Amino acid sequence: MSLALDAAPQDEGTLKQAARQSCASFRGEYDFSPHFLATDAGAMHYLDEGESEAAPILCVHGNPTWSFHFRRIARDFAAEARVVAPDHIGCGLSEKPQDWGYRLAGHIENLERLVLELDLKRITLVAHDWGGAIGAGVAVRHPERFARLFLMNTAAFPSQRIPWRINVCRTPLVGALAIRGLNAFARAAVLMAAKRREAMTPEVRRGYLAPYNSWRNRIATQRFVQDIPMSPSHPSYATLVEVAQGLCRLREKPVRLAWGMRDFCFTPEFLQTWLGYLPQAEILRLPEAGHFALEDAPQEVLPWLRNFLKS
């Protein structure tokens, strides 16, 4: 499969046509109308399903996923909410510039632009992996626009915990060869991040991997790994600290944490750290789920989210 979105910037009609063509082989799992927002880095793709006047669910993905990760929410909740799910620049069906910074601050600014452009209010933030830091980064800037937070295996604060298999991908030569040359990071995710192997059907695997089909198209996958701030000297460390310090502005919001307890990356220790920042959080522990709780335990996560929206 060849994604036309790895070419030079194009008009929105061309981008939409390319997006539809790119999803042809997994249309049964992901059959949504594409939308695009102009950012300083390029065109950012997003889903916008449901009634425009309904309270929005803002789904923010991590690495190496994209809005495909939230396809069940977009499909199952559109009748009762407005589901907005962007692809970060470099990810999914968004443009993949080769000369952009790919820093946490830039991703936060892009998401903030989307929230303000669509004038989203009464937002339920649903965030996973890097989406926690990016989504919370916008929420602490605009707490009046957010009604509640629903977080899954994520972080929005500094940590010294990093799996060795991710840390080794941060080395310049090995990381570039593994992530951009062999697509090892995304391929490992579809094999290891979900514990319920029968959930990762060939169509679902194609959906997760399709946007990352060339060296050029895997740039964000590598840059996200490089952007993990493990020390104060890292360019994104101050941004992450600022997000963490701002979490106190969300302590009056209802919060739920749905956690795959077998996650090798965001382990249960991260869950405990969240309670230090947001002690009001309710917890759904998923003992047999891994990093992709929405793949491993949708029958538990989705009803809990629906209950949260009604509470």
Alpha carbons 91 and 52: distance in angstroms, whole number = 25
pLDDT digits (tens, 9 = 90+) for 60-87: 999 999 999 999 999 999 999 999 999 9
Alpha carbons 173 and 226: distance in angstroms, whole number = 12
6-15, 180-189, 238-247, 276-285: range with lowest mean pLDDT? 6-15
The amino acid at residue 271 is L
Residue 10 confidence (pLDDT): 66
More confident residue, 269 or 2: 269
- The average pLDDT across 214-238 equals 96
- The average pLDDT across 12-32 equals 93
Residue among 243, 257, 224, 230 nearest 159 (CA): 230
Domains assigned to the chain: 4-310 (3.40.50.1820)
Global confidence as pTM? 0.95
Confidence band (pLDDT; 50, 70, 90) for 2? very low
Residue 142 has pLDDT above 90, yes or no: yes
Alpha carbons 294 and 73: distance in angstroms, whole number = 9
Residue among 78, 87, 92 nearest 302 (CA): 78
Residue 201 has pLDDT above 50, yes or no: yes
State the Rg of the chain over Cα: 18
